[in-house]
Amino acid sequence: MRKIEEVIVVEGKTDTAILKRLLDVDTIETNGLNMTEETLELIVKTNETRGVIVLTDPDYPGKKIRDRIQQVTNCKHAFVAKDDAIGSYRGKAKVGIAQTRKEAIIDALENIVTFKENQESISWQEFLSLDIVGNKKRRLQVFHQFNLGYGNVKTLFKRLNMLGITLEMVKEILD
Protein backbone atom coordinates (compact mmCIF):
# COMPACT_ATOMS: atom_id res chain seq x y z
CA MET A 1 0.00 0.00 0.00
CA ARG A 2 1.41 3.35 -1.06
CA LYS A 3 2.33 5.74 1.77
CA ILE A 4 1.50 9.45 1.49
CA GLU A 5 3.84 11.52 3.67
CA GLU A 6 1.66 14.63 3.76
CA VAL A 7 -1.60 14.77 5.67
CA ILE A 8 -4.66 14.91 3.43
CA VAL A 9 -7.45 17.33 4.33
CA VAL A 10 -10.90 15.93 3.53
CA GLU A 11 -14.43 16.96 4.39
CA GLY A 12 -15.61 13.99 6.45
CA LYS A 13 -15.29 10.51 7.91
CA THR A 14 -16.45 8.72 4.76
CA ASP A 15 -13.71 10.44 2.74
CA THR A 16 -11.15 9.31 5.33
CA ALA A 17 -12.43 5.73 5.18
CA ILE A 18 -12.16 5.65 1.37
CA LEU A 19 -8.60 7.03 1.41
CA LYS A 20 -7.47 4.60 4.12
CA ARG A 21 -8.71 1.67 1.99
CA LEU A 22 -6.59 2.91 -0.93
CA LEU A 23 -3.47 4.31 0.75
CA ASP A 24 -1.42 4.45 3.92
CA VAL A 25 -2.46 7.99 4.83
CA ASP A 26 -3.33 10.34 7.68
CA THR A 27 -6.20 12.78 7.29
CA ILE A 28 -7.69 15.87 8.88
CA GLU A 29 -11.47 16.17 8.54
CA THR A 30 -12.99 19.63 8.21
CA ASN A 31 -16.54 18.53 9.03
CA GLY A 32 -17.60 20.15 5.78
CA LEU A 33 -18.28 23.87 5.87
CA ASN A 34 -18.48 23.63 9.67
CA MET A 35 -14.68 23.77 9.89
CA THR A 36 -13.66 25.33 13.20
CA GLU A 37 -10.81 27.74 13.86
CA GLU A 38 -9.11 24.94 15.83
CA THR A 39 -9.23 22.66 12.77
CA LEU A 40 -7.87 25.47 10.60
CA GLU A 41 -5.01 26.03 13.07
CA LEU A 42 -4.27 22.29 13.04
CA ILE A 43 -4.06 22.37 9.24
CA VAL A 44 -1.63 25.31 9.35
CA LYS A 45 0.61 23.63 11.95
CA THR A 46 0.50 20.29 10.13
CA ASN A 47 1.45 22.00 6.87
CA GLU A 48 4.54 23.45 8.58
CA THR A 49 5.69 20.04 9.86
CA ARG A 50 4.50 17.33 7.43
CA GLY A 51 2.82 19.17 4.60
CA VAL A 52 -0.85 19.15 3.69
CA ILE A 53 -2.73 18.14 0.55
CA VAL A 54 -6.28 19.49 0.26
CA LEU A 55 -8.67 17.00 -1.39
CA THR A 56 -12.21 18.33 -1.10
CA ASP A 57 -15.37 17.52 -3.03
CA PRO A 58 -15.59 19.08 -6.52
CA ASP A 59 -18.57 21.24 -5.58
CA TYR A 60 -19.23 24.70 -4.18
CA PRO A 61 -18.74 23.79 -0.49
CA GLY A 62 -15.51 21.98 -1.39
CA LYS A 63 -14.25 25.09 -3.17
CA LYS A 64 -15.17 27.29 -0.18
CA ILE A 65 -13.23 24.99 2.18
CA ARG A 66 -10.23 24.92 -0.17
CA ASP A 67 -10.24 28.72 -0.50
CA ARG A 68 -10.48 29.21 3.28
CA ILE A 69 -7.46 26.94 3.83
CA GLN A 70 -5.49 28.63 1.03
CA GLN A 71 -6.06 32.02 2.71
CA VAL A 72 -4.09 30.95 5.79
CA THR A 73 -1.45 28.55 4.43
CA ASN A 74 0.12 27.74 1.08
CA CYS A 75 -0.39 23.99 0.80
CA LYS A 76 -0.73 21.45 -1.98
CA HIS A 77 -4.00 20.75 -3.75
CA ALA A 78 -5.38 17.63 -5.44
CA PHE A 79 -8.46 17.85 -7.63
CA VAL A 80 -10.88 15.22 -8.85
CA ALA A 81 -13.06 15.93 -11.85
CA LYS A 82 -16.74 16.39 -11.12
CA ASP A 83 -17.61 13.69 -13.67
CA ASP A 84 -15.50 11.20 -11.71
CA ALA A 85 -17.13 12.11 -8.39
CA ILE A 86 -20.82 11.55 -9.11
CA GLY A 87 -22.59 8.71 -7.39
CA SER A 88 -25.54 8.01 -5.18
CA TYR A 89 -25.93 7.98 -1.43
CA ARG A 90 -29.09 6.58 0.13
CA GLY A 91 -30.84 6.81 -3.23
CA LYS A 92 -29.92 10.45 -3.89
CA ALA A 93 -27.43 11.79 -6.43
CA LYS A 94 -24.29 13.04 -4.69
CA VAL A 95 -21.00 14.60 -5.75
CA GLY A 96 -18.07 13.88 -3.48
CA ILE A 97 -14.76 12.21 -2.77
CA ALA A 98 -16.64 9.25 -1.26
CA GLN A 99 -18.38 8.73 -4.62
CA THR A 100 -15.20 9.16 -6.70
CA ARG A 101 -13.70 6.33 -8.71
CA LYS A 102 -10.60 4.91 -6.96
CA GLU A 103 -8.44 5.52 -10.04
CA ALA A 104 -9.48 9.18 -10.11
CA ILE A 105 -8.44 9.65 -6.47
CA ILE A 106 -5.02 8.07 -7.12
CA ASP A 107 -4.63 10.20 -10.26
CA ALA A 108 -5.51 13.37 -8.33
CA LEU A 109 -2.88 12.59 -5.69
CA GLU A 110 -0.29 11.96 -8.39
CA ASN A 111 -1.00 15.37 -9.97
CA ILE A 112 -0.97 17.75 -7.02
CA VAL A 113 -0.48 21.48 -7.53
CA THR A 114 0.77 24.33 -5.35
CA PHE A 115 -0.53 27.85 -5.85
CA LYS A 116 1.54 31.02 -5.62
CA GLU A 117 -0.35 34.18 -4.73
CA ASN A 118 0.09 37.60 -6.32
CA GLN A 119 1.71 36.71 -9.59
CA GLU A 120 0.43 37.36 -13.07
CA SER A 121 1.64 34.90 -15.65
CA ILE A 122 -1.28 35.54 -17.98
CA SER A 123 -3.08 38.87 -18.30
CA TRP A 124 -6.85 39.19 -18.51
CA GLN A 125 -6.54 40.37 -22.14
CA GLU A 126 -4.42 37.33 -23.02
CA PHE A 127 -6.90 35.11 -21.23
CA LEU A 128 -9.80 36.61 -23.22
CA SER A 129 -7.92 35.96 -26.46
CA LEU A 130 -8.05 32.21 -25.75
CA ASP A 131 -11.82 32.09 -26.47
CA ILE A 132 -12.52 30.41 -23.14
CA VAL A 133 -15.15 32.85 -21.90
CA GLY A 134 -18.50 31.49 -23.05
CA ASN A 135 -16.92 28.26 -24.28
CA LYS A 136 -17.42 25.68 -21.56
CA LYS A 137 -15.77 22.88 -23.53
CA ARG A 138 -12.49 24.84 -23.88
CA ARG A 139 -12.64 25.98 -20.24
CA LEU A 140 -13.10 22.42 -18.99
CA GLN A 141 -10.28 21.24 -21.26
CA VAL A 142 -7.89 23.71 -19.60
CA PHE A 143 -9.07 22.77 -16.09
CA HIS A 144 -8.55 19.09 -16.92
CA GLN A 145 -5.19 19.38 -18.68
CA PHE A 146 -3.62 21.30 -15.80
CA ASN A 147 -5.37 19.28 -13.04
CA LEU A 148 -7.12 22.37 -11.66
CA GLY A 149 -10.42 20.85 -10.67
CA TYR A 150 -13.57 22.64 -11.75
CA GLY A 151 -14.82 26.20 -11.65
CA ASN A 152 -16.04 29.21 -13.53
CA VAL A 153 -14.01 31.50 -15.81
CA LYS A 154 -12.75 33.71 -12.97
CA THR A 155 -11.62 30.66 -10.98
CA LEU A 156 -9.73 29.35 -14.01
CA PHE A 157 -8.01 32.70 -14.57
CA LYS A 158 -7.01 32.91 -10.91
CA ARG A 159 -5.69 29.34 -10.79
CA LEU A 160 -3.69 29.75 -13.99
CA ASN A 161 -1.96 32.78 -12.48
CA MET A 162 -1.46 31.09 -9.12
CA LEU A 163 0.36 28.24 -10.90
CA GLY A 164 2.38 30.52 -13.16
CA ILE A 165 0.82 29.10 -16.33
CA THR A 166 1.47 31.33 -19.35
CA LEU A 167 -0.52 32.14 -22.49
CA GLU A 168 1.80 29.93 -24.53
CA MET A 169 1.27 26.96 -22.22
CA VAL A 170 -2.51 27.25 -22.51
CA LYS A 171 -2.37 27.71 -26.28
CA GLU A 172 -0.27 24.56 -26.56
CA ILE A 173 -2.91 22.38 -24.92
CA LEU A 174 -5.80 24.01 -26.80
CA ASP A 175 -4.20 23.47 -30.22
Q: What is the pLDDT of residues 28-48, one digit of tens each?
A: 999 999 999 999 999 999 999
Q: Find the domain containing 52 and state its range.
A: 1-114
pLDDT tens by residue, 134-155:
999 999 999 989 988 888 999 9
Q: What are phi and psi of 79, to 5 degrees?
A: -125, 135
Q: Is the dihedral of CA 13, 19, 20, 24 positive or negative?
A: negative
> Which phi-psi region, left, alpha or beta, contains residue 25 (left: φ > 0; alpha: ψ -120 to 50)?
beta
Last residue in a domain, options 83, 114, 145: 114
Q: Which pLDDT score is estimated for 116?
A: 78
What pTM does this model have?
A: 0.81
Rounded distance between C-alpha atoms, residue 150 and residue 139, angstroms: 9
58 and 87 co-located in one domain: yes
Q: Which pLDDT score is estimated for 51?
A: 96
Rounded distance between C-alpha atoms, residue 174 and residue 142, angstroms: 7
Q: What residue type is 159 in one-letter code? A: R
